[in-house]
Amino acid sequence: MAPNPDYQSIQTHGIRPTSAVWSEAHKTKLWEHFVQTFATVQSRFPAPLDRFDVEGKDKMEQAVMGFIDRRVPITLVLPSFPFKSPNTIDKVLGKLPDRAEELAMERLENFCAQVEEVYSPGCKMVIFSDGRVFNDLLGVDLCDLYAFEDELKAMVRDAGYTHIYFDSLDNYVKNVADPIPEILERFNLMHMDFNARIKTEPAIRNTYCSFCKFLERDLALQWAGMSRSAVKRNCGKIAKQMMHRNVGFSALVDDSYPDALRISIHQYNNAGPKFGIHLIPQESGKPRTPWHSVICEDLDGTPHTVDHKDVDTSKYELIYKRGRKWGYVERPGCTPEEIKQW
């Protein structure tokens, strides 16, 4: 497959030529600054489950030093931001990005900017939307998916962010209307037996169970009135399809961004080559993503991530921004002037 021209432009954009020779000690300091900054967004399992310190850190250093040696922007690729949960009653405020995505974009931009404060060639974050991978399985229309993507890009542009780039599956297939078969065939992944892998591989089984749980909540409105056994059966069927497609999508991302540092919103043991991050505040011990959450913000600015159905409306007031429902802020002491600043 031909190199991704967008990736090549990311690698050269923002380079500041210099004739100075970087010593090994200086390059080591650049790496140390990067990994310390990455720790501010990284998700970690409790020891000894987490393998970053004993295994993953060396792999990350090898990837990052590849950029430092060439004096090009350190590039991270994050498959994420598909679309809002289809459950706009119990889980989210609507179909478009809101305060949750705003916080996530701010977090990613700040991370890259902090890296660039020390590493002058810079740091770039590529958001590779995975919405086309499974939108049909969740009943999400393409018009809603594209509206979500367009508004997310507009939010980044309006905020003046300069470190965030976007990519999508549509840029890599001939048949945009039905991209999955083309991707699976390209990487020889048409036939995979996930039934056997779920039974024999604990990591695959855990992923399958996690998918089933979130599908049950995401599709609760569509499956209202169905028996419990029918819901579980449908969850299992869709979860396996999602896992199969994700293998193909992951292969595409690796092929398109061969040198980039792979990060993920999913929890990993951080042994590498993928490393988990948090996009928004995490509470209740379970991973949270912006597209599955509503933000409630205290008077002191502390944000909380909850399901829409769990918002305490006696404490928090709904606010609007960009012409739509945006999030909640604590009521006492929140003047109309303060609300308008959102």
Span 259-309, pLDDT tens digits: 999 999 988 889 899 999 999 988 766 779 999 999 999 999 999 999 999
Shortest CA distance to 68 belongs to which of 133, 115, 9, 6? 115
Structure tokens of 159? 């905020």
Q: What is the pLDDT of residue 41?
A: 95
- Asked if omega into 121 is within 30° of 0 (cis), the reply is no
Which of 88-102, 143-157, 219-233, 323-337 is the least confident region?
323-337
The fraction of the chain above a pLDDT of 90, given in percent, is 77
Structure tokens of 18? 């210099």
Q: What is the pLDDT of residue 2?
A: 42
Distance CA 101, CA 118 (A): 27
Kindly report the average pLDDT of the chain as a whole number: 91
Domain spans of the chain? Answer: 23-283
Task: Compute the average pLDDT of residues 32-59.
Answer: 93
Q: What is the pLDDT of residue 14?
A: 46
1.10.150, 3.40.50, 1.10.1660, 3.30.530: which CATH number matches 23-283? 3.40.50
CA distances 67 to 8, 19, 93, Å, are 13, 17, 40
Degrees (nearest 5) of the Cα angle 135, 140, 146? Answer: 80
* pTM of the predicted model as reported, rounded to 2 decimal places: 0.89
Q: What is the pLDDT of residue 337?
A: 65
**Residue 161 banded pLDDT, cuts 50, 70, 90:** very high
Give 48-86 pLDDT, tens digit per residue: 888 999 999 999 999 999 999 999 999 999 999 999 999
Q: What is the pLDDT of residue 47?
A: 78
Q: What is the pLDDT of residue 207?
A: 87
Shortest CA distance to 292 belongs to which of 237, 211, 212, 214? 214
Pairing relation of β-strands 123-129 and 164-168? Answer: parallel
Give 114-136 pLDDT, tens digit per residue: 999 999 999 999 999 999 999 99
Distance CA 53, CA 59 (A): 10
Which of 8-12, 208-212, 238-242, 307-311 is the least confident region?
8-12
pLDDT: is 212 or 334 the higher one? 212
- Res. 184: pLDDT tops 60: yes
Residue 46 main-chain phi, psi, to 5 deg: -65, 150
Q: What is the pLDDT of residue 153?
A: 98
